[in-house]
Amino acid sequence: MKQYEKWMPLYIADYLADTSRLTLEQHGAYLLLIMDYWRNGAPPDDPVILARIVGASPEQWRAIAPVLHSLFHDEIRGGSKVWAHKRIDEELGRAKGISKIRAEVAANRHAKEHAKNMQLHTPLPLPSHIPSPEPLPAQKAKATPAARALPDWLPVEPWKAFLEMRVKIRAPLTQRGQELSIRKLYKLQASGEDVTAMLEQSVERSWRGLFPVKPNGSNGSGPPWWSSNEGIQAKAAELGVGSRTGESWNDLKARVNAALESA
């Protein structure tokens, strides 16, 4: 059912002025006729169908039909004679026009929201002025649009994985954020850190930031805390992060990582 078919305007003063001479039975039949008109269009000039619309027997319909017919006018539509009603046709045209406008507005709004969401979740190209120890070779500059601004020392696939992880945790990097992250990686590389290992570490732990790689994933001994449910619970208790009923260990790990980043 279309939206405009769910309601019909009824101007009480006009209705009473046009139907002041109707009987109780005729009022009911007239209202049923105009409501069917609103949903299905002008009814055919067929006594069987008209009687069925108002729920009357053939005898009852023959008794009330002349009075009800005076409230309509005959018209040929689609090659058949129908009971037409000027006021209902006008109101239907107005309602359909409003419904069409609302549908177009909703479609435009949806298209704008979709375009905005696509823009927010698409990694932005990096500016060409990011510091790099070496110039980009010509053959690599032609590889992909996103790779043109990447310095040679930055591994492409781990960097893409880091950007995709940021999108998945609903924290996509802006152009400025990407620039700052690459500068941080450059400084950490200069201090002896492995860029690939740092990127993979952040991807594995769903970290928003980039940090030096810890030996063996923790404090230098034993398995990393995030590799088991017990380790995650212990780290959560250490940081004061309480577990939630029905929470998976992956969700708890994500909240522990967030607490580590903010510490």
Q: Residues 146-185: pLDDT tens digits? A: 444 689 889 999 999 999 999 988 889 999 999 999 999 9
**What is the rounded average pLDDT for all residues in the chain?**
83
Q: 197: which 2 tokens?
A: 């290992």
- What pLDDT digit, counting tens, does each position of 122-144 carry? 676 666 666 656 655 555 444 43
Which of 38, 64, 91 is the last residue in one of the domains?
91
Count of other CB atoms within 10 angstroms of residue 154: 21
> Is 107 contained in some domain?
no
Q: Which domain covers residue 248, as residue numbers?
A: 224-263
The CATH code of the domain that includes 80 is 1.10.10
What is the number of domains present in the chain? 3
**Amino acid letter for position 118:** M
Q: Taking Cα atoms as reference points, which of 225, 191, 224 lies closest to residue 210?
A: 191
Going by pLDDT thresholds of 50, 70 and 90, the confidence category of residue 223 is low
Residue 100 has pLDDT above 70, yes or no: yes
Q: Which residue has the higher pLDDT, 95 or 1?
A: 95
| Together in a domain, 83 and 25 | yes
| Together in a domain, 27 and 84 | yes
What pLDDT does 263 receive?
Answer: 60
**Distance (Å, rounded) from C-alpha 230 to C-alpha 223?**
11
Q: 182: which 2 tokens?
A: 């690459």
**Amino acid letter for position 12:** I
Kindly state the percentage of the chain with pLDDT values over 90: 36
Q: What is the mean pLDDT of residues 101-114?
A: 81
| Together in a domain, 137 and 189 | yes
Q: What are residue 75's phi and psi, to 5 degrees?
A: -155, 150
Kindly state the percentage of the chain with pLDDT values over 70: 83
Please report the DSSP string for 34-93 in residue order.
HHHHHHH-SPBS-HHHHHHHHT--HHHHHHHHHHHHTTSEEEEETTEEEEE-HHHHHHHH
Q: 200: which 2 tokens?
A: 């993979």
For the chain, what's the residue count?
263
Q: 143: which 2 tokens?
A: 């590889």
Going by pLDDT thresholds of 50, 70 and 90, the confidence category of residue 31 is very high
What pLDDT does 57 receive?
Answer: 95
- What pLDDT digit, counting tens, does each position of 230-257 carry? 778 888 888 888 888 888 878 888 888 8
> Is 218 contained in some domain?
no
| Together in a domain, 177 and 228 | no
Residue 260 has pLDDT above 50, yes or no: yes
What pLDDT does 110 receive?
Answer: 84
Beta bridge partners of 73: 84
Helices and strands (H and E) in the chain: how many: 11, 2
Going by pLDDT thresholds of 50, 70 and 90, the confidence category of residue 88 is very high
> Is 81 contained in some domain?
yes
Q: Which residue has the higher pLDDT, 75 or 230?
A: 75
Residue 228, C-beta contacts closer than 8 angstroms, at least 6 positions apart: none
**Amino acid letter for position 253:** K
- What pLDDT digit, counting tens, does each position of 184-206 carry? 999 988 888 888 988 988 888 88
Q: What is the DSSP letter of 125?
A: P
> Is 205 contained in some domain?
yes
